[in-house]
Amino acid sequence: MIKVTIDGINTEVPEGTTILQAARQIGGEIVPPAMCYYSTLKNSGGKCRACLVRVAAGSAKDPRPMPKLVPSCITMAQDGMVVENITNPQVLETRKGVVEFLLLNHPLDCPICDQAGECDLQNFAYEHGMAKTRYEEERRTFDPIDIGDKIKLHMNRCILCYRCTYVADQLTDNRVHGVINRGDHAEISTYIEKAVDNEFSGNMIDVCPVGALTDKTFRFKQRVWFTKPLDAHRDCPKCSGKVVLWTKGNDVLRVTARKDQYGEVKEFICNECRYDHKDMSHWTVEGPRHIDRGSVISQNHYEKVDLVKLKKDVERQLKFQEGKRLEQTNNSAE
Amino acid sequence: MGRKLLLKDINVPGIKSFEVYRKQGGYASVEKALKTMSPDAVVEEVKKSGLRGRGGAGFPTGMKWSFIDKKSEKPRYLICNADESEPGTFKDRFLMEYIPHALIEGMIVSSFALGAKTSYIYMRGEFRWIFPILEKAIEEARAAGFLGKNILGSGYDLELYVHSGAGAYICGEETAQIESLEGKRGNPRNKPPFPAIVGLYGCPTVVNNVESIAAVPHILNMGGDEYAKIGIGKSTGTKLISASGHINKPGVYEIELGLPVEEFLNSDEYCGGVWKGRKLKAVIPGGSSVPILPADLFLKNAKGEARLMSYESLADGGFASGSMLGSGGFIVMDETACIVRNLWTFARFYHHESCGQCSPCREGTGWMEKVLHRIEHGHGHMHDIDLLVDVAKKIEGNTICPLGDAAAWPVASAIRHFREEFEYHIKYPEKVMNPKHFEIEPFRSEKNLVMA
């Protein structure tokens, strides 16, 4: 086990843990945002630069600070490392810049985008972005295309996180889609509009942090915050069969895999579960899906307050404030 | 007359061929290294020589070599980075085109030093006509027994391949080059791990510039200590400078590091002065990605000392009043040159060449290009100047590879030193409509004019 300090909070993590994972163990507001990193996909991360943090001390052996901000999702924590995330103004300034860069060519069509309400970029921009853009030029545009009969690709909205290509690479055989072209003209494509039609292709929709890849069977059916999410499962020979049903009344509007609090799917599901069983009677319903309080989807959802979790949250917050106070007194003492 | 090493025999007729090159003393270092030296001794000589990477960053080559993971049992690779695509730099092309054997000889001794059994020359896609030149040189060297199995009876085997890229600037970045060589999309990797530990096919790899590798035989021939005597301070040896722009004699010159910049710019042996008797306005001393310097800061540093052509002297003053030697792409601009237009051209280049992997570079380079395009064509606003500075600051240091820095530095430095010119473009849009506006009427500072 190695000791790491993140924003003044000490924690112990096993060796080979990234800074981001260590921060996630602590939880709360000190967790850096991640747009491209996906813990279940190998080689992901390091691209969006949203999770940049400052390393104030490299390790106990070599306590020099790192010269540049480092991507926390792929930088390994070292014993005695001191990391500054939301306590460092430079990090927050850079993050603001990253939001601005990501939104430059991203259309602000949230009112008609199916991802609205469960969009990582929306949340990220809401937390760190500016109210106004400084960009006066035209955005680059592409036409929406069908990749496969069930998936629609809106390249305009893509932030090139490469997650979907990793899904295709690591979950399925015979990858037919990838990134073509370069720079801000780079696009996710199937090259000659070949259809993506393998068994697990639907997971591309789940890993997409924005509304670039959407489920054609659900498009424009319903705003996500008007639906009722339920945990459910069925016996599936191909996958775990553990899903979330997004329902309205007795209709199943959409089936997705279960995402954790950081929007990551741990158990991917097959296309049969996703598209072919939109009937309540095919599923064993476990109960209502827990949605984070911060999300718009949790509107009008009532849950019993988890006292244990609440106590943990308050304790962490107190620790964080104490760390901040100590840091300030240290700084003024210097 | 400065000392010449790399281009010593450039005027010998037929130096491209193996026989003539051999007759001029070529491949002597291979014989010396393989017959009398151990690989570690070669590395030691290079370390002693103080040779610094000629590709731009100026990292000591010997030290880079000593980082290679010797403990791992995986094969090691040497890659020669011949993906020279920096605007203003054309020294490697010249070397490979006219003395291909200098590179081959360097590759053999460098591979021997690193213990690489397979080495690659990654060549820029646009250098299509150099491809057969190098292939022929390799064939000649193989026929003479300098490549292949059991070279010169020493028991050392080496295969050397030339690989042609597909024309992407980003593949000059070492990890992108490795990806490209592996047959993937040329996206830079996140570091660490560095290529010296996990490089080509996951094996320890060293990537060196053409000129660095071509300098190694000379170091072995004359000894590391002797080589270190050439040059000044930590900038040892000779360097190829590709001079271009508004000068009388553009071309590739070999200089001893430490040559005064004034002599390089004005003497007839080198650039021959600014053309058409015009005044010097600005110089980019190391290829498009290094900061631009106005004439007064280029000739003398902020303290008033004359600058020399060396890594330290050109960088004197940091980014506030200095620049970098970089890859040696020496671009000279006279008083008719428009800094904004020039900067826009560079920004367009970096926008076009950004790989699109990480967001600050992908989006930021395009943004800067569009704003600069607007200013240059007379549609700018005063707040655009500060916007450019801010965007450059947010790209710099926050990207995976140095392309983001390379795109941000010229913008930041041009605005730092030539802010008035940007303001001129915004104040007088009708004057800058003509693309040759400063040729008609050179830019004059308005700072000292008295308002009527």
Q: What is the pLDDT of residues B185-214, one digit of tens each?
A: 999 999 889 999 999 999 999 999 999 999
Distance from CA of B296 to the nearest CA of A (A): 31
CATH of residue B352's domain is: 1.20.1440.230
Please provide the distance, in angstroms rounded to a whole number, between the alpha carbons at the two ends of chain A: 32
CA atoms of A21 and A12, how far apart (whole Å): 11
B192/B258 same-domain check: no
B65/B137 same-domain check: yes
The partner residue sitting opposite A160, judged by closest CB among B362, B364, B374, is B362
3-class state of residue B331 by DSSP: strand
B214/B246 same-domain check: no
User: A68: which chain B residues are within 8 Å (Cβ-Cβ)?
Assistant: 397-398
Q: Report the chain A residue with the minimal C-alpha distance to residue B168.
A: A182
B271/B225 same-domain check: no
pLDDT higher for B218 or A196?
B218
> Is the pLDDT confidence value at A193 over 90?
no
Domain count, chain B: 3
> B68 near B196, Cβ under 8 Å?
yes
3-state secondary structure B224-280: HHHHHHCEECCEECEEEEEEEECECCCEEEEEECCEEHHHHHHCCCCCCCEHHHCCE
Q: What pLDDT score was predicted for residue B13?
A: 92
Beta bridge partners of B52: B60
B248/B130 same-domain check: no
Percent of chain B with pLDDT over 70: 99
> What digits encode the pLDDT tens for the residues B393-412?
999 999 999 999 999 999 99
Domain end residue (candidates: B334, B365, B387): B334
Domain end residue (candidates: B207, B229, B251): B229
Beta bridge partners of B330: B243
CA atoms of A183 and B33, how far apart (whole Å): 44
What is the average pLDDT across A123-136? Answer: 88
Is residue B451, in this structure, part of any structural domain at all? no
Quick check: B394 contacting A, CB < 8 Å?
yes
B199/B271 same-domain check: no
Task: Please give the angle made by the CA atoms of B209, B212 and B217, to the nearest 5 degrees.
Answer: 135
CA atoms of B389 and A331, how far apart (whole Å): 30
Q: pLDDT confidence of A321, banded at 50, 70, 90?
A: confident
> B117 near B320, Cβ under 8 Å?
no
> What digits encode the pLDDT tens for the residues B382-394?
999 999 999 999 9
Q: pLDDT confidence of A327, banded at 50, 70, 90?
A: low
What is the average pLDDT across B220-241? Answer: 92
Q: What pLDDT score was predicted for residue A333?
A: 60
Q: pLDDT confidence of B448, banded at 50, 70, 90?
A: low
> What digits encode the pLDDT tens for the residues B414-434?
999 999 999 999 999 998 888
* Element (DSSP H or E) covering residue A255: strand A251-257
Other CB atoms within 10 Å distance of the CB of residue A234: 15
* Element (DSSP H or E) covering residue B332: strand B329-334
> Is the pLDDT confidence value at A334 over 60?
no
Task: Please give the angle made by the CA atoms of B215, B216 and B220, to the nearest 5 degrees.
Answer: 125
Q: Residue B374 is part of which domain span?
A: 339-440
| Maximum distance among all Cα pairs of chain A, rounded to whole angstroms | 67
Q: ω before A229 within 30° of 0 (cis)? A: no
Q: What pLDDT score was predicted for residue A299?
A: 77
Q: ω before B193 within 30° of 0 (cis)? A: yes
Q: What pLDDT score was predicted for residue A179?
A: 87
Question: At CB < 8 A and 24+ separation, what contacts does B230-233 make?
Answer: B230/B3, B230/B256, B230/B257, B231/B50, B231/B256, B231/B257, B231/B258, B231/B310, B232/B257, B232/B258, B232/B308, B232/B310, B232/B313, B233/B258, B233/B310, B233/B312
User: B387: which chain A residues are within 8 Å (Cβ-Cβ)?
Assistant: 134
B389/B325 same-domain check: no
Domains in chain A, CATH or no CATH each: 2-88 (3.10.20.740), 221-292 (no CATH)
> What digits encode the pLDDT tens for the residues A53-62?
999 998 889 8
**b vs e for B197-212, b when ≥16 Cβ sit within 10 Å of the residue's Cβ?**
ebbbeebbbbbbbbbb
> A273 near A282, Cβ under 8 Å?
no
| Pairing of β B77-82 and β A284-288 | unpaired
Interface predicted TM-score of the whole assembly (ipTM), two decimals:
0.89
Quick check: B444 contacting A, CB < 8 Å?
no
CATH of residue B272's domain is: 3.10.20.600
Domain end residue (candidates: B229, B248, B280): B229
CA atoms within 13 A on the CB side of A244: 19
Phi, psi of B289 (to 5 degrees): -85, -5
Select from B310, B324, B300 the least CA-distant residue to B413.
B324
> B438 near B335, Cβ under 8 Å?
yes
3-state secondary structure B10-68: CCCCCCCCHHHHHHCCCCHHHHHHHHHCCHHHHHHHHHHHCCECCCCCCCEHHHHHHCC
B203/B319 same-domain check: no
Q: Who's near A207: CB < 8 A, 6+ residues apart?
A: A38, A41, A163, A164, A166, A167, A265
Q: Report the chain B residue with the minimal C-alpha distance to residue A102.
A: B359
> Is the pLDDT confidence value at B452 over 60?
no
pLDDT higher for A321 or B371?
B371
Phi, psi of A313 (to 5 degrees): -60, -45
Mutation target vs B (from A98, A135, A182, A188; most B CBs, 10 A cutoff): A182
Q: pLDDT confidence of B435, banded at 50, 70, 90?
A: confident
CA atoms of A108 and A220, how far apart (whole Å): 17
Q: What pLDDT score was predicted for residue A332?
A: 65
| Maximum distance among all Cα pairs of chain B, rounded to whole angstroms | 85
Kindly determine whether residue B360 and residue A47, on different chains, have CB atoms separated by under 8 Å: no
Quick check: B353 contacting A, CB < 8 Å?
yes
B161/B192 same-domain check: yes
Q: What pLDDT score was predicted for residue A91?
A: 93
Kindly determine whether residue A104 and residue B363, on different chains, have CB atoms separated by under 8 Å: yes
Compute the mean pLDDT over every residue in chain A, rounded to the nearest whole number.
88
Q: Report the chain B residue with the minimal C-alpha distance to residue A184.
A: B362
CA atoms of A229 and A287, how far apart (whole Å): 9
Residues in chain B: 452
What is the average pLDDT across A101-120? Answer: 91
Please provide the distance, in angstroms rounded to a whole number, between the alpha carbons at the two ends of chain B: 54
B186/B66 same-domain check: yes
Report A:137-196 residues touching B (Cβ under 8 A): 137, 140, 159-160, 162, 178-179, 181-186
Q: Is the dihedral of CA B173, B179, B181, B184 positive or negative?
A: negative
pLDDT higher for B449 or A241?
A241
